[in-house]
A and B are shown apart, each in its own frame.
Chain A
């Protein structure tokens, strides 16, 4: 159980275009989803926390107008990279936590999306 599906797994786009990444919890409901960014051989850097039905909370230094996050339902969150530039090229990973649990639950990660902006 606890499967998170992330699409697409990779995308190449031209500079100036926008890219949408979807993150779905397949067999559980997720009130909270987290979006991380990872550079090669580096840590998972938290970009934002997404709560169903409310605005996302962005980490310091993350441009909310550039990285648009929508958490429309308990099973779907999307990250849209707007007006992408080569420096946005990275590995983006979403993760989700279940609802209604008695104790803290772990993060369940999607398989990530490798974005390359040319």
Chain B
């Protein structure tokens, strides 16, 4: 039931792009994306609802392929502040519990 994230870790230079993937074997209602910095609480990035929406937040956007039960997070022209661990969380019904993947550690080099 836990979604699968890939890759497990990414190292980029500032300005480079990254894609983080999240897939589930079950039908999903929504996918959430959060970023957590070391020693801090996760911070909400965006929610994707079923329907193939693509949402964006500055240089961070995401898509949700309802057919494949897959979501991808796109980080464009990465900044040092993007470093952290990214978690996708999946929800199978509205107001359902949210189960998180194992996370993708992103490290941005200057």
Q: Cβ of B103 and Cβ of A43 under 8 Å apart?
A: yes
Q: Cβ of B87 and Cβ of A44 under 8 Å apart?
A: yes
* Total residues of chain B contacting the partner, CB 8 A: 25
For B86-110 the 0/1 string (1 means CB < 8 A from A) is: 0101010011011111110100000
Band of interface residues on A: 20 to 34
Q: Cβ of B49 and Cβ of A103 under 8 Å apart?
A: yes
- A64-118 contacts to B, CB under 8 A, are 93, 97, 103-104, 106-112
Given the complex, which residues of B lie within 8 Å of A112, measured CB to CB?
40-41
Binding site for A on B (CB under 8 A): 2, 29-30, 32, 34, 40-44, 47, 49, 87, 89, 91, 94-95, 97-103, 105
- 19 further A-B pairs in the complex, CB-CB below 8 A; given A44-B87, A49-B97, A57-B97: A42-B102, A43-B100, A44-B89, A45-B100, A46-B97, A46-B100, A93-B41, A93-B42, A104-B29, A104-B47, A106-B44, A107-B42, A107-B44, A107-B89, A109-B43, A110-B41, A111-B40, A111-B41, A112-B41
Binding site for B on A (CB under 8 A): 32, 34, 36, 41-46, 49, 57, 93, 97, 103-104, 106-112
